[in-house]
Structure formats: C-alpha cells, structure tokens
A and B are shown apart, each in its own frame.
Chain A
Amino acid sequence: MGEARVIAVASGKGGTGKTTVATNLARVYAAQGRAVQYLDCDVEEPNGHIFLKPRIDRREEVTVDVPEVDAAKCTGCGECGKICQYSAIVCIQDQVLTFEPLCHSCGGCWLVCPVDAIEKKPLRIGEIETGAAGDVGFVSGRLEIGTVRTPSLIASVKQHVNSDGIAILDVPPGTSCPVVTALRGVDFVVLVTEPTPFGLNDLKLAVDLAREMGLPFGVVINREGIGNRDVETYCQTEKIDIIARLPDDRRIAEAYSSGKMIVDALGEYRDRFLTIQNYLEQARK
C-alpha cells in the first residue's frame, strides 16, 4: 500500500459535489506544503476556477486532425468513405464530402487514400488554461461550443499532470467515453455521491465502471442526512470504503453558490478533507 498520487474525483450523477471535494482537497494538501495540482477535466462545464480563483499564466489552443481533401488529386475511388465508420467522410458520385463534427481522427482516410489526396487539417476543439491558485497548480480545459471531442480535450488536459507531486482530477459526470478517458491510468477514484435513490443508482453505475477499468475506489457521501440509508447499506454489502461524509448544511450550499471554498468559509469541516487525504496516503494498490 502506498500513497495515491493521481487521484480522480468522479460520480455517476451530476451535482453531487465533485468540484467541492476536488478543490477543497487540493487546498488541504497545499496547506501542508505538498506539491499539488488541480486539473479540471470537466471540460464541457468547467467550474473549478470559480472556487480556486487562479491566476492564469498561459492559454493554449488544442486541436485535432481532421481530413482535408485535395479535389485536384482525388480520383473519386471511394476508399476513404469505405473505411470511415463515422460517416465523417463520404464519397458520392466521385465527390468526396467531409463532416468534421463526426470525425474521430482515427486517420483511416488519409492512410487508405491511394493517391495521397487527403491532408491532415487542424480543427480547434478547445483550450487549456494553466496557472496557480496560491500553492495549488491549476489546469483547466474548456471545450469549444458545438464540438463533441470531449475525450480528446480531456486527454490533453491530463498531459499536464506533473511527474511528481499530487494531481487531483475533477472528472465530468456520467459513465461513458469522457469519464473513461479521465479515469484511465489514475491511482485512485474518489466517488462522490448523495444518499438519495438517484445518487445510489448512479453510484452503482460508477462502481461498475471503476471495476470494469480495474481501478481502486472509495466513496464520499455528501449531504448526509437527506434521503435514506440505502447508499450506506449498499457500500457495506459491496465492501466499499466510505472515506468521509459531508453533512447536509444549508450554509455549505450558500457558500458554494457564491463560489466560496468550504475550508475558508466553514473551517469546522476542514477535518473532513484531511480525513480524505489521510485515507489516500494508504490507498494505492
């Protein structure tokens, strides 16, 4: 057992408190002089900056390659349309049409073209901001509106994980490709849930995903006191560690609403995040 270094904060259900846990946990590490980064992988709706209020030092554009067809070279053979599984390039009566929003950048079309008529063209999918919030390193991706390349941007955000120190990834909700991309290769997954039927249903989906990916995980229960005890019972039955609990306290909701950190606004809950940190120090398989 060792210390988990790259930690993902995830949940099936949205709005359970991922960003609250991720940002406050980062601050608790930093307060002890630990090198720590917060990386916002919820690139569709990034919110970490609202709480950490970082100084942004750098903005970089993120692009992916999509095909551009040189009509002068194209013979209309249709090989590109045949290999493309996403209908992103089609050949109709010797005319090749591309549909960039559908492209996955697999490279099939330019690899298969017999006359080298297809070039790679960069397509902007979003940007990454890097900076610092006090002693917390800050990285955040922001997806371009109308783009579906969420996983590609998340992968780019993760390239900013330092080779040492703690990295805390704020993961998008759900259980499909964006979440899979965010979770791949992490040391530990903190699943934040709330003790309600929706919370439990979506927690089970997230547990299925973590198990499918072979990742160690534990649960943080947020808004303890609402709903019922079914999440507790489920975790006991499944032998899943409940790492920490945050109570249902209207003051937390109000602090959250105006972008305040719990460790600043409600110091009495600081030890809850220390508990998570202590757990993570032993959590690596």
Chain B
Amino acid sequence: MANAPKEIVVISGKGGTGKTSLVGSFAALARGAVLADCDVDAADLHLLLAPDVKETHDFVGGKIASIVSDKCIGCGRCKELCNFGALALNGPANDVVQKTYAVDPIACEGCGVCVRFCPVEAMEFNDAVNGQWFLSETRFGPMVHAKLGAAEENSGKLVSLIRKQARQLAGQRGLPLIIVDGSPGIGCPVIASISGADLVLVVTEPTLSGQHDLERVADLAAHFGAPAMVCVNKWDINPEIAGRIEEKAHRRGLQTAGRIAYDASVTQAQVAEKSIVEYCDEPLRKQIASVWETAVAALETATDTRRST
C-alpha cells in the first residue's frame, strides 16, 4: 500500500466560508492531483475548473415505489404503514374504486414496506435514478463530479461513489493525491466524505457562527477518527475572533494551516472562472500557497502516523 494515493478533504461546517474557491487554488498548486467534488447537493467546483466531460453515468442510489392504479383496491394499508408520509388517496379511478392510492416520489425513501405488504400486489419497486456523475479532464488534472437531481435522496451514497472513482482514477494514472471538495454541515454527505480520509482541512471564517460550526465539525472529525486541521479564511473581518478560533483549535490539539485575508478580488476570480492563485495578486497567492504547503506537510505526517499504527 506504499503508493496508495493520499486524500485531503476540505469541509467547513458553515457554508460559504470559501471551500470551493480554495479547492480550485489547491488544484492549481498541486498540478496533477485527482479532483473530487463531493458537494453533490450544490456542486460549484466545475465553475472554476471548466471540466471537459469524458464520461457520464447515471447514479442509482436506491429504489422507489409506485402503484399500478388498475390493481389498487384503495384499502389504505400502504398509507397506514408508510413512515415517510409518501402515500395519498389521490390516484386515478379504476373499475373497483373512485380513487386509488399514489406514491409521492419526493417523499418516498425507497424502503419497500408498502410493496411488501400490499395485499393485492399492486405495487412496483424500481431502481431510482437520483442523479448523474461524471469523469472529466481539467487544466489541473482529472476530475470526478456529480449532479444530484432536485429533491433527490442518497447524497451520502453518491459521495462514497465519487471518492471510490477518484481513488481508482488516481491508481490508474499513478497520481499521488486526491483533493476533495466537501459539503457544509455535519450530516450524511459530510460523514461519507471524511470517513477514512487521510486529512480533513476545515476552512472557517472569523464569525461567531463560523466558530460555533467549527466546533461541531471538529467534533465530527474526532468522532470518525479523521485527522483535522483548521484554516481561517477572511481572517481580517474580525481579527479577535480569528485569534480565538485558532486558540481553540490548538487547545483541541488541532493544527492550524494559516490565515487568508479578505479580498474582494476573490469574487472577481470566480466571475472570470479562474482559481484565486491564477487570477489574484499578492499577498493572497502567497497566503494560499502557504496554507496548501502546510496542509501537504501535515498530510505526510498524518498518513505516516496512521499507517504505522
């Protein structure tokens, strides 16, 4: 396993702290990493990296129930048993009843309970296509990304699938590093993106909200045994809170990866569809490069420690 690719996952707890902008820059600095956009709910990395899509695949995350209206006798057993409120008496009439039951595809979680217990076997249970995932090439290396359909389920499964594809791709191409853009929060997709990662880089902002959310995301990383470090973005919006966040991180035994200043040109880089390090001036570029180098150094240490234990 000596040559297994290492994986760094960028998350934030709070949304809008600058994850994707930084991942775009890390991609530019790393040159030759596999890029994985695991923010499958609201993927944005493609807006910076302009991927050339080589392969498109359907993502089947689970199943979905439906009722064959002609067979339904309107008994209501399905509605009675469904724990997701996915059944209602609003289907079309048939020879037996004026109204039949129908499945709300948005509410259905594909558990199959209604299918199993329908007394007249009026239900179908089919694969649910929840979205699509893509293998692409970018100017900084290959990229795996996805689009989850509106109101779709199984974001955690899709994240796991993207990471698996990224690992395969890194293996095939002999690339040493995978950079993962994660999602906000601490739920299903975040857990799926950090479990087993070599390093989690938490990008936060110097606000009370950022501080509060960092604590929870650090707890989550600890819960799943993922080594984590912290970077304060836009630190000069509130230097006092920036300092407090770093102090708290250190007290928890988390390394800090450095600070990045607030700069209006970051938005301009986004408008120009460029990463910050391609578009913006100093000192921003140096600050980001320093964060990246610190993270890569920590990645080496974290991986060595992991593999020796």
**Chain A residues engaging chain B, CB cutoff 8 angstroms:** 12-16, 19, 42, 44-45, 47, 50, 83, 85-86, 104-108, 111-112, 143, 145-148, 150, 172-180, 184, 196-198, 201-202, 205, 208-209, 211-213, 226-228, 250, 253-254, 256-259
Contact = CB atoms under 8 A, between A and B. Distances in A.
B16 A257 contact: no
Contact of A173 (B41, B116, B207, B212): B41
Given A15-B14, A177-B188, 15 more contacts: A44-B187, A45-B184, A45-B209, A50-B212, A83-B112, A85-B63, A146-B224, A148-B156, A148-B191, A173-B42, A178-B187, A211-B150, A212-B106, A226-B267, A257-B205
B216 A145 contact: yes
Contacts of B271: 196-197, 227-228
Contacts of B16: 13-16
Contacts of A208: 150
Contact of A47 (B42, B47, B148, B213): B213
B62 A197 contact: no
Contacts of A198: 20, 44, 47, 270
A257 B189 CA distance: 27
Contacts of B219: 145
A50 B207 CA distance: 10
Interface in B175-221: 183-191, 205-209, 212-213, 216-217, 219-220
A175 B264 contact: no
9 contacts: A15-B16, A104-B111, A106-B109, A111-B117, A175-B151, A180-B107, A197-B47, A227-B267, A257-B237
Interface residues of B, number: 63
Nearest to A172: B185
A197 B273 contact: yes
B42 A174 contact: yes
A105 B83 contact: yes
Interface in B109-161: 109-113, 116-117, 148, 150-153, 155-156
A176 to B, nearest CB: 5
A232 B262 CA distance: 25
B184 A254 contact: no
B13 interface: yes
A250 to B, nearest CB: 8
A205 B107 CA distance: 18
B161 to A, nearest CB: 15
Contacts of A176: 40-41, 148, 151-153, 155, 189
B56 interface: no
Contact of A45 (B41, B151, B186, B270): B186
B157 to A, nearest CB: 10
Contact of B186 (A44, A175, A227): A44
Contact of A253 (B20, B187, B237): B237
B81 interface: yes
Contacts of A227: 267, 270-271
A106 B111 contact: yes
Nearest to B272: A197
Given A13-B42, A213-B151, A47 B212 contact: yes
A14 B111 contact: no
Given A15-B14, A256-B207, A85 B110 contact: yes
B155 A14 contact: no
List 9 A-B pairs, minimum CB-CB distance, nearest first: A14-B15, A15-B16, A106-B111, A174-B41, A44-B185, A257-B238, A257-B207, A208-B150, A14-B184
B208 A259 contact: yes
Given A83-B112, A107-B83, A176-B155, A148 B267 contact: no
A150 B20 contact: no
A241 B7 CA distance: 43
A34 to B, nearest CB: 26
A186 to B, nearest CB: 14
Contact of B111 (A85, A150, A213): A85
Contact of B150 (A50, A111, A173, A205): A205
B241 interface: yes
A201 B44 contact: yes
Contacts of A147: 187
B17 interface: yes
Contacts of B187: 44, 143, 147-148, 150, 178
Contacts of A213: 106, 151
A180 B42 CA distance: 14
Contact of B183 (A86, A107, A174): A174
A143 B209 contact: no
Nearest to A109: B113
Nearest to A13: B42
Nearest to A12: B42
Contacts of B273: 197
Contact of A212 (B109, B150, B185, B216): B150
Given A143-B187, A257-B207, A45 B109 contact: no
A254 B238 CA distance: 7
